[in-house]
Amino acid sequence: MRILIIGGTRFVGHAMAEAALAAGHDVTLLHRRATEELPAATHLLADRNGDLSVLADGRWDATIDVCAYLPGQVALLHDALGDRGGHHVFVSTVSVYADQDAPGADEDAALLPESAPETLEVTNETYGPLKVACERVARERWGGDGLTIIRPTYVVGPRDATARYPWWVLRAARGGRMILPGPEDAPMQCIDARDMGAWTIRLVEDRTTGVFTAARPATTFGQFLADTVAVVGQPAELVPVDGAFLTEQGVDGAQLPLWSEGAPEQVLAMSTARAEAAGLTHRPFEEVVRDTLAWAQAHPDQATRKGVGLAPEREQELIQATESKN
């Protein structure tokens, strides 16, 4: 197949491009900056927010849009491709779902209201509503018969330059007394980028349409960290610290990445049945942890980011403060 990927040189898109090339497909990547990554692919350089004339003469069996955050970007891509893009895959997010009352909701669950038409800034508050608007535009432009919508939860694994899960594996590798932010039983879901990438290409190959939540079966945040520490294998003691106390101390989800800031979110406990019925499989979590740690240790410049994670001294201060309070 001839597959066009919008993005494709970084984390999630890179995994999809690798999977497509490994399966023998002819892959074209549209992105902004020249790179030595993925030399077997055809690279088209353009800013998706501007002139897309580089797409004027091509024709593809499928297009995967990894990096649209604004509905105008979705419309602009359709204007540039028309019917030459083939089967369309739009990568959305579980952040489109409204708050759920219980775990196990499926893809038919209520969505958040769309963002206002004039919203152009992507923030923690606008991200989900903007993606809801993007999904609507994708449906209007490509129709249900030619569209697949994938809603991933937190994506993890090697090449994760968000530095969120890499912070935890690197922290576990340091050992010692390690904060476990509460509540321990808060829902948690993730998916390895490589599993998502391989599955997305299988959906393309089979021309599978529909909406799918992309995630591993739900666990708890406490178990997620305990499993991470166990695989890393360094002497580390997880010390529970009350979530409300942490928020009172000004700690947020940037300093403790992937943490729900003390408020359990049932959108991190969505049903995975529909995606699994459509062929989604998962590698052992031990492999996710080991590979993420190896990549993060080999690429500290990419696996760490200013503003992500607690400073060691601050972490110990919080642990000591909560213990003295108890």
Give per-residue pLDDT as tens, 88-132.
999 999 999 999 999 999 999 999 999 999 999 999 999 999 999
Counting every residue, how long is the chain? 326
Q: How confident is the model at residue 197 (pLDDT cuts 50, 70, 90)?
A: very high
Residues 209 and 77 in one domain: yes
Same domain, residue pair 108 and 178: no
Is 260 inside any structural domain? yes
Provide the residue range defining the domain that includes 44: 2-156+190-214
Encoded tokens for 108: 């038919």
Q: Which residue has tokens 């700690």? A: 251
CB within 8 A of 65, min separation 6: which ones?
6, 7, 74, 77, 88, 89, 90, 91, 138
Q: Is residue 276 part of a domain?
A: no
Identify which of 129, 89, 127, 91 has the alpha carbon closest to the alpha carbon of residue 112. 129
Q: In terms of domains, do 96 and 179 share one? A: no
Q: Clarify whether residues 288 and 305 are in a common domain.
A: yes
**Percent of the chain having pLDDT more than 70?**
100
pLDDT tens-place string over residues 132-165: 999 999 999 999 899 999 999 999 999 999 999 9
Tokens coding 244? 């409300």
Calculate the dihedral angle through the C-alpha atoms of 279, 284, 287, 292, rounding to the nearest 10 degrees. 70
Both 90 and 208 in one domain: the answer is yes
Q: What is the pLDDT of residue 196?
A: 98
pTM: 0.96
Whether residue 106 is found in the same domain as residue 182: no
pLDDT at 166 over 90: yes
Residue 82 and residue 18 share a domain: yes
> Which CATH number covers residue 18?
3.40.50.720
Mean of the per-residue pLDDT values of the chain = 97
pLDDT at 37: 92
| pLDDT above 90 (res 310) | yes
For residue 151, what are its two tokens? Answer: 């809603």
Residues 135 and 174 in one domain: no
Tell me: the pLDDT tens digits for 25-62? 999 999 999 999 999 999 999 999 999 999 999 999 99
Assess if residue 279 is contained within a domain: no
Q: What is the mean pLDDT of residues 298-303?
A: 96
Average pLDDT over residues 190-218: 98
pLDDT tops 90 at residue 294: yes
Q: Is residue 315 part of a domain?
A: yes
More confident residue, 264 or 325: 264
Same-domain pairing of 23 and 147:
yes
pLDDT tens profile 253-283:
999 999 999 999 999 999 999 999 999 999 9
Residue 244 located in a structural domain = yes
Distance CA 134, CA 138 (A): 6
Let me know if 49 is exposed, middle or buried by CB neighbors in 10 A (0-12, 13-18, 19+): exposed
Number of domains in the chain: 2
Does residue 40 share a domain with residue 180? no
pLDDT of residue 144: 80
User: For the residues 271-297, what does the mean pLDDT come to?
Assistant: 98
Beta bridge partners of 219: 188
Q: Tell me, yes or no, whether 74 lies in a domain.
A: yes
Which phi and psi (to 5°) does residue 112 adopt?
Answer: -65, 160
User: Would the pLDDT of 325 be above 90?
Assistant: no
Helix, strand or coil, per DSSP, at residue 180: strand
